[in-house]
Chains A and B, each alone.
Chain A
C-alpha cells in the first residue's frame, strides 16, 4: 500500500488521464445467413432476402479485400447530393456487408511527467502519450456472375468473438 500511494499521488498530479474509446460501426452480417448462400445456385434476390442490402460495392473499398479480410478500410459514404461513385463492372456484381468493432486506449502522462523525466536526466524521446488501438471486422462478400447467379461467397470474422483488450504497455 505504501508503495502504491506515491505512485497514485504522482499519477494524480501529473497524469492528464487515460482514455478508452469503443467503436461499433455497422451492423455485422450474420455468418449463419451468409453460409446459406450457395455458389452457382443463389440469385441476387435470394442474396438480398438473406442479407438485406449491402453496405457497399466491393470496388468502392480502399485496398484489396483479401480472403483474410484484414487489409481494408471502411469507406464513409458521400454526403447527399454529392456525385455518386459510378463503377463500370460489366461482367460481375460484387456486394459487400461489413461490421466492425474497434477499441482504442491511451494514457496521457501530461507535460508535467515529461518535463520531470527530462529534468531527471532522461535522454531521447520521452513519450507524452502511450496508446494502442485494435479493430476487428466481419464481412461477407458476394460476387455475382453476368447471369445473375452467385459466383463466389466469402465470409470472414465474427465481431461477437471480439475479445481482445488493447494494452498500451504491451
Chain B
C-alpha cells in the first residue's frame, strides 16, 4: 500500500499529463456484408454493391483480385517530468476477394484484427 501510494504521488507530481489517441484508416468492411460473399455464387457486381470499391485491384489473366483494407490504431502517451513514453498499436482488417474471368467469386478471405488494438503502457 505504501509503495502504491508513493508511486501514485510520484506519478501525480511528476507527470504533467497523458494522452490517448485513436486512429482509423480506411473504411472497415462490414463483417455482416462480408459473410454474404460466397465463392461460386456471388458475382463481382454484387461485391461492388455490398462493399464499394476496393483499395487495390490486381488484374490477372484469369480474373481480378480485390483487396480491402482497414487499420485501427490506439496510442497511449505518458508525459513525465523528464521522460515521455508512448506506445502505438496498429492492427489491420483485411479482405481479399478473387474472381474468375466471368466475374464470379472464386476465393474469399477475411480477417479482422482491428478490435485487438489496445492502449498499452508496456512496449
Contact residues of A with B, CB < 8 Å? Answer: 11-12, 15, 17-27, 44-45, 48-49, 52-57, 59-60, 76-93, 95, 103, 146, 148
Contact = CB atoms under 8 A, between A and B. Distances in A.
B47 interface: no
Given A48-B109, A90-B61, A91-B61, A26 B92 contact: yes
Given A27-B92, A27-B111, A85-B56, 11 more contacts: A15-B82, A18-B82, A21-B86, A52-B109, A77-B25, A81-B27, A81-B53, A84-B54, A86-B59, A92-B60, A93-B58
Nearest to A11: B82
Contacts of B67: 53-54, 56-57
A20 B77 CA distance: 10
B33 to A, nearest CB: 14
19 contacts: A17-B79, A18-B82, A19-B84, A24-B88, A24-B89, A26-B92, A45-B107, A49-B109, A52-B109, A53-B67, A54-B67, A57-B65, A57-B67, A76-B71, A80-B27, A84-B57, A85-B57, A87-B56, A93-B58
B26 interface: yes
Interface residues of B, number: 44
